[in-house]
Chains A and B, each alone.
Chain A
Amino acid sequence: MNIELNIDKSVATMKIEGVLNSENSYILQEKLTEVLRSDATLLELDLAECRNISSTGIGKILLFFKDFIGKNGEIEVVRCSNSVYELFTMLKLNQLFTVNFG
């Protein structure tokens, strides 16, 4: 699993590759904390190369989401693999933030 994070003023872009599971989700937590501490108000998630996400990973994203909207932040999944798109739709996460397929 690999996470690339770039923060440019108010926009943070995060690209996640591989499978996000319980063992590596702390890396996601660290990166999300970095976003939360920055001036970014938009997090663009690129999940096109992310093959799947465990409930721990989902939990980290939701926990971040709760804090991020508290500072008027917004999440957008700009690209998404088929399996993650299915997962996000099934869990109705697309009702919390925009999830784009492809």
Chain B
Amino acid sequence: MAVNKARLLVVDDSASVVSSLCKILDVSGYQVDPAYSGSDALRRLHQNQYDIVICDIDMPELTGLGFLQKISRDFRDEVAVILMTGFLDQECFINAIRLGAADFIRKPIDTKQLICSIEHILNKRKIKDEYHEFQRYLNTADLSFTIMPVNFSKSNLFNALSSFLRHNFKIDQQVLNEVLLCMDEMVYNAFIHGTLKLEQHERWLDNHTFQNLVATKFNDAATASKRIRLRVVINPDRDQMVIEVTDEGDGFDYENILQKVKSEPDLSLVAHGRGITLLRHLSQAVEFDNGGRTVRIIKKLTNGEDPRIADI
């Protein structure tokens, strides 16, 4: 017996098929209504809210595929459609998938298989609804990551964060690119300076030599045990995001470099301060703490004009 009293609509031009399916599904605990044509089903769909429509493909006038097309246009993801058929050719199958059919059931109907399909769709719907509910009330997010630099791939973390930010906070693509570039800048600095303590010339080695050097550095237990901490706080109400990166290095004289960056914002060929200049360009504020081991930026979530950036 199904726990969830889901509402189903059975559509077939054969009255006997509709009648028997309705009886079976009713006994199985669902609330079921009959429809004897595609047009009849559409009328009912506009009057009532259904979770799933179980529909024959081969019907006169409005066929199952035509019906599916109208449903995907008018109801999008609200209603799932299970198509019933005695024979399904490849082209029809591809069209049905493109139109968003949730499942296919072969005629004569195997009741167990049909109920299994219904329950599978209802479970997926429940998870999706719960996630949408979570998103509705998601106001702020405070995410913390402790990264082991020895086997760290930034791209995996950044891809996951990018997807999370795009889906949950609807951040503009350009702002998102800038956020990811700032994170890359901050974490990479924590990696090469705070963790590996690389000299400037070592950073410009060819990739193969550089990777060997990094591997050698991690042979040292003290280096390998270092961690990088990344914290991302998103607050849409304040239209801002705070990104904070902390390393376990020796820190640096950030006041001197900040002063230099403010007074000479051009990079020319000098490497020192290039990353900080870029962070200043891409964010609204750059702050240091903890002797230079912690860097924090504040970034607007919307892409409005910022007078501070124009002044730089």
B-binding residues in A (CB < 8 A): 19, 21-23, 26, 29-30, 33, 51-52, 54-56, 58-60, 62-63, 65-66, 83, 86-87, 90-93, 95-96
Please tell me which one of the listed residues A33, A54, A90 contacts residue B185 in the complex, with CB atoms under 8 A apart.
A54
Residue of B nearest to A24 (CB): B155
Q: Give the distance to chain A from B178, nearest Cβ to Cβ, in Å.
A: 7
Which residues of A lie under 8 Å from residue B134 when comparing CB positions? Answer: none
Please determine whether A23 and B180 come into contact, CB atoms closer than 8 angstroms. Answer: no
Q: List 5 A-B contacts (CB under 8 A).
A: A21-B184, A54-B184, A54-B188, A58-B274, A91-B265
Please determine whether B266 and A22 come into contact, CB atoms closer than 8 angstroms. Answer: no
A51 and B177 in contact (CB under 8 A), knowing A23-B155, A26-B207, A93-B267? yes
Which residues of B lie under 8 Å from residue A54 when comparing CB positions? Answer: 181, 184-185, 188, 278
Please determine whether B278 and A87 come into contact, CB atoms closer than 8 angstroms. Answer: yes
CA distance A30 to B209 in the complex (A): 13
Which residues of B lie under 8 Å from residue A63 when comparing CB positions? Answer: 204
A66 and B188 in contact (CB under 8 A), knowing A26-B207, A30-B206? no
Which residues of B lie under 8 Å from residue A90 when comparing CB positions? Answer: 265, 277, 281, 312
Please determine whether B207 and A92 come into contact, CB atoms closer than 8 angstroms. Answer: no
Please tell me which one of the listed residues B181, B207, B266, B277 contacts residue A29 in the complex, with CB atoms under 8 A apart.
B207
Could you tell me how many residues of chain B have their Cβ less than 8 Å away from some Cβ of chain A? 27
CA distance A23 to B153 in the complex (A): 9
Please tell me which one of the listed residues B154, B155, B207, B281 contacts residue A30 in the complex, with CB atoms under 8 A apart.
B207
Please tell me which one of the listed residues B207, B210, B268, B274 contacts residue A59 in the complex, with CB atoms under 8 A apart.
B274
Which residues of A lie under 8 Å from residue B181 when comparing CB positions? Answer: 19, 21, 52, 54
Main secondary structure of the interface of A (DSSP, over half): helix
Please determine whether B185 and A52 come into contact, CB atoms closer than 8 angstroms. Answer: no
Residue of B nearest to A51 (CB): B177
Please determine whether B155 and A26 come into contact, CB atoms closer than 8 angstroms. Answer: no
The 3 closest A-B pairs by CB, nearest first: A92-B266, A22-B188, A26-B207
Number of A-B contacts (CB under 8 A): 78
CA distance A23 to B210 in the complex (A): 12
Which residues of B lie under 8 Å from residue A58 when comparing CB positions? Answer: 267, 274, 278
Please tell me which one of the listed residues A26, A62, A83 contacts residue B267 in the complex, with CB atoms under 8 A apart.
A62
A87 and B281 in contact (CB under 8 A), knowing A58-B267, A59-B274? yes
Which residues of B lie under 8 Å from residue A93 when comparing CB positions? Answer: 267
Residue of B nearest to A83 (CB): B174
CA distance A8 to B72 in the complex (A): 53
CA distance A63 to B178 in the complex (A): 24
Instruction: Let me know if B34 is at the binding interface, CB within 8 A.
Output: no
Q: A59-B274, A63-B204 are in contact. List 14 more A-B contacts (CB 8 A).
A: A21-B184, A21-B188, A22-B185, A26-B206, A26-B207, A29-B206, A29-B207, A52-B177, A54-B278, A55-B275, A56-B203, A83-B178, A90-B277, A90-B281
Which residues of B lie under 8 Å from residue A96 when comparing CB positions? Answer: 268
CA distance A62 to B38 in the complex (A): 67
CA distance A87 to B203 in the complex (A): 22
Which residues of B lie under 8 Å from residue A52 when comparing CB positions? Answer: 177-178, 181
Q: Mark B101-128, 1 if CB is under 8 A from A, else 0.
A: 0000000000000000000000000000
Instruction: Let me know if B222 is at the binding interface, CB within 8 A.
Output: no
Residue of A nearest to B204 (CB): A63
Instruction: Let me know if B269 is at the binding interface, CB within 8 A.
Output: yes
CA distance A59 to B312 in the complex (A): 20
Which residues of A lie under 8 Å from residue B206 when comparing CB positions? Answer: 26, 29-30, 33
Q: Mark B200-223, 1 if CB is under 8 A from A, else 0.
A: 000110110010000000000000
CA distance A30 to B206 in the complex (A): 8
